[in-house]
Structure 1
Amino acid sequence: MFADISAQHWAFAIYVIGAIAICLTMIGLAALLGGRAQGRTKNKPFESGVDSVGTARLRFSAKFYLVAMFFVIFDVEALYLFAWSVSVRESGWVGFIEATIFIGLLLIGLVYLWRIGALEWSPRKPQLNNKNTD
């Protein structure tokens, strides 16, 4: 039964058992050696020696999430372009044209986001019409 298991499988099994043993040892030592002081001040949050005021539940604007999404999108773009730049000699002109189309599509998307105001941080001011209706 154990003769079929290769040396790599044994090494992986020993690694997993060792990792679990280290985790259990650290948790056990923390439980045995850790402090057990109880008190009213132990349950209060500590913020650099200053008593906390107010609630921790703050409402963030949706702009923060939009900026995070834009970052992820353009960060993935950088990953694709890095992979392309590593293999630029092997891909030749076809790869260059494909990368140019890819960058062009992303620029079109960026211009679209800019035009609809998705990149504007402050709210837009209403435009007043100066029409005289006399």
Structure 2
Amino acid sequence: MYDFFDNEVIQFILYIFFSFIVCIIMVTGGYLLGGKSLESKNKNLPFESGVKSTGNTKIKFGFNFYLIAILFVIFDIESVYLYSWVVSISECGWEGFIEALFFVFLLFISLIYLIKLKILK
């Protein structure tokens, strides 16, 4: 029979409770301590170092910028998976090691594929 008031369950409930408390304190603290300004004609103008903006603010970025950003996110997420594998390496054993090698091999193959397509240029 599972004991609801197990030590781990109580710790998890306390963690969630104090997380909510910290979030509430941060939001109300920012509201109470944050600067407040009166309505004025300059309030909604964009501000950059005191210089009034000129020209069109809609700058178009090339497709390559978005592609590089997405590739960075994809290859950055793999570091999160590898970090969690490294932390639990003693529990994974050889089976986990082989799975991690397969994961790294797939990433390497995908990187070679991207280089062959000349996407990174």
- TM-score range relative to shorter protein: 0.5 to 0.7
Match of 1:75 in 2: 76
SS of 1:47 mapped into structure 2: coil
1:26 equivalenced with 2:34 (yes/no): no
Match of 2:40 in 1: 38
One-letter amino acid matched to 1:59:
K
Please give the residue correspondences for 1:1-134 in structure 2 after superposition, counting only pairs within 5 Å: 19=24, 23=28, 26=31, 34-36=36-38, 38-39=40-41, 41-120=42-121
Uncovered stretches (5+) of structure 2, i.e. residues with no partner: 1-12
Q: Distance in 2 between the 1:80 and 1:34 partners? A: 43
SS of 1:114 mapped into structure 2: helix
Structure with the greater alpha carbon radius of gyration: 1
What is the percent sequence identity of the aligned residues? 45
Give structure 1 regions of 4+ aligned residues with deviation exceeding 3 angstroms.
41-44
Uncovered stretches (5+) of structure 1, i.e. residues with no partner: 1-7, 121-134
What TM-score do the two structures reach when normalised by structure 2?
Answer: 0.67
- Cα offset for 1:37? 5.5
Q: Distance in 1 between the 2:31 and 2:98 partners? A: 55
Deviation sequence 1:72-121 (CA, Å, 0-9, x none)? 1111110111111111122111111111111001000000001101111x
Q: Distance in 2 between the 1:35 and 1:82 partners? A: 45
What TM-score do the two structures reach when normalised by structure 1?
Answer: 0.61
Aligned-pair Cα RMSD in Å = 3.0
Count how many residue pairs are aligned between Structure 1 and Structure 2.
101
- Cα offset for 1:69? 1.0
